[in-house]
Structure formats: structure tokens, C-alpha cells
Amino acid sequence: MSQIFKQRICIKNIFSAANIPMRMVQKTFSDDTTPIKIIYTWWKDFQEGRKRFEEEERTRRPPTTIDAAHVQKIKDLLLENRRLTKKKTADDKGISNISANYIWKDVFHLKRVRARSR
């Protein structure tokens, strides 16, 4: 059982007033204590009738531009011209700058190189 899950159970069952004693939570969970703002949000949710302690499912948009085809296209561009920038590759291939940055950094493991040495 995760620390966050345990903290939510304590907040739901132990605390009945809005004045939550943070010292008690900090003493119980020490370094893994959730920030007070989040604890107050959980307390409010439980007061409004939330029953579950688990995280609720969220819909997330799937990454559509970080697939093998786009990675290969950017790789081909970089092999043709090593002086291309992330922004230029994103504009040429019609993907977002964030996706281009992810491909450069996490897929190709490229990092910024200074133009001049000091």
C-alpha cells in the first residue's frame, strides 16, 4: 500500500474538522508527508462525499507525434544536415516543439553543444 493511499485513509477516517493537525500527519509519515494544500483538497473531497481512496482514472491524450515514423523522419533530417535546430526539425515535419525536444533528448540522447569554447 502506497504512502499516499495511507495518508488519504487517515485524512478520511481520523480528521473530522477543517483544522487538520499537520504535526500528526508529519509525525506519522515523516519524509513522505504530502503538502498541506493537497491534504486540504483531499479532506474537502471526502467531506463532499468522495468514497474511494484510489486515484480516479483520467483520460490522457496519447502521444501521436512520437512514433517510429516521426522518429525516423527526424533521424533522416539530422543525418542530412547536422546543423539543424530542434525548432527547424519540428517545423519541417509538422510536429510540436515539445515532441521534437523529446525525440532529440530522450530518443537520440542528444544534448546542447556550445558554439564556442571558453
Tens of pLDDT, residues 60-115:
766 667 888 888 988 998 899 888 888 888 898 888 888 888 888 888 888 776 66
For residue range 13-61, list pLDDT tens digits in order. Answer: 666 555 556 667 777 777 777 777 877 787 778 778 877 767 777 677 6
The predicted pLDDT at position 32 comes to 72
Q: Is the pLDDT of residue 8 over 70?
A: yes
Q: From its phi and psi, is residue 30 left (phi > 0), alpha (psi between -120 and 50) or beta?
A: left
- Sequence spans of domains, the chain: 3-47, 68-107
Alpha helices (H) along 1-118: 3-13, 22-29, 36-47, 68-80, 86-93, 97-102
Q: Write down the pLDDT at residue 113.
A: 67
| pTM of structure | 0.43
